[in-house]
Amino acid sequence: MRLGFTAASTLWVAWSALPAVCGERRNPENQRPATKVLAFFHGAETVSIAQFLGRLRPAPLSPAVRAQVIATLPAEGELRPTEAERAKLAALEPIFEFHGRRDALTIKVIEVGHAFVGLHARTVLLVSRDALALLTPEELQALAAHELGHEYVWDEYWTAMTRQAHPRMQELELVCDGIAVMTLRALGLQPARLVDAVTTVTRYNERLGATASAGGYVSLKERRNFIEEIASRFEAGNTAQATRR
């Protein structure tokens, strides 16, 4: 059974609380998405992760709006999670809590025929059964942290996706990777799990031919390098400073 909308192309996107990632630069010779996004994160190490993200985090949607969103979701394609799946999904609670979304997000397990984790309408985290089978709890945490990063750039991403502005989408996806790394560091978790999760899901979906959204991402190599670069800015030894409120 398939969910009644195309998960891979319509479920992510973000809120315009972040300033533009690719503003004017004095040295425009290197315009790779990763370079622009690294410039955006410059200086983030000088404050705590909680402070940095807290300044940018949008207010959660109201309960009434969230209820409307959930009411519009089709029943077809939604699955009842198994006991093992529920146990794995429970690992997401610290991620939701850190972003102030413990009571503002609903998790739904779906069947879409490939590995997928996506944020729908800032209200529902959709996780495919394929993804639950593939990912460890730690890898699932990492991808959920990425998806919650989309809330910080929701309107910008929606605009870019609607216009099929792939370069801008690539930049914003990297912003979400950066936010995910910061989230994992703040919680004492390993950013390497994000690299593992991204690699696992990408390779799995490539084997299935589920690559419709590939244009919105930089290459897997570039993405790994970016994640590792951001992670290096928040080494484990700096975690106490990074999480201090």
Q: Which amino acid is at 50?
A: A
In the chain, what is the straight-line distance between the N-terminal and C-terminal CA atoms, in Å?
45
What is the DSSP code string of 135-181? S-HHHHHHHHHHHHHGGGGHHHHHHHHHTT-HHHHHHHHHHHHHHHH
At 236, the pLDDT band (50, 70, 90 cuts) reads low
Q: Is the pLDDT of residue 8 over 80?
A: no
Q: Which position has the token pair 């009434």?
A: 64
Cα–Cα distance list, 135 to 5, 36, 169, 198 (Å): 23, 30, 25, 10
Per residue in 45-69, is it b (16+ CB within 10 Å) or e — as a string? eeebbbebbeeebbebbeeeebeeb
Cα-based angle 134, 128, 122 (whole degrees, multiple of 5): 125
Please check whether residue 131 is in contact with residue 22, taking contact to mean a CB–CB distance below 8 angstroms.
no
In whole angstroms, what is the distance from residue 194 CA to residue 226 CA?
11
Q: pLDDT, tens digit, for every residue of 35-53?
A: 889 877 777 888 899 999 9
Half-sphere exposure of 186 (CA within 13 A, CB side): 29
Q: pLDDT, tens digit, for every residue of 99-108?
A: 999 999 999 9
Compute the mean pLDDT over every residue in the chain, rounded to the nearest whole number: 85
At 148, the pLDDT band (50, 70, 90 cuts) reads very high
In whole angstroms, what is the distance from residue 188 CA to residue 159 CA?
34
Q: What is the mean pLDDT of residues 144-158?
A: 96
Q: What is the mean pLDDT of residues 70-85?
A: 93
Please check whether residue 211 is in contact with residue 205, taking contact to mean a CB–CB distance below 8 angstroms.
yes
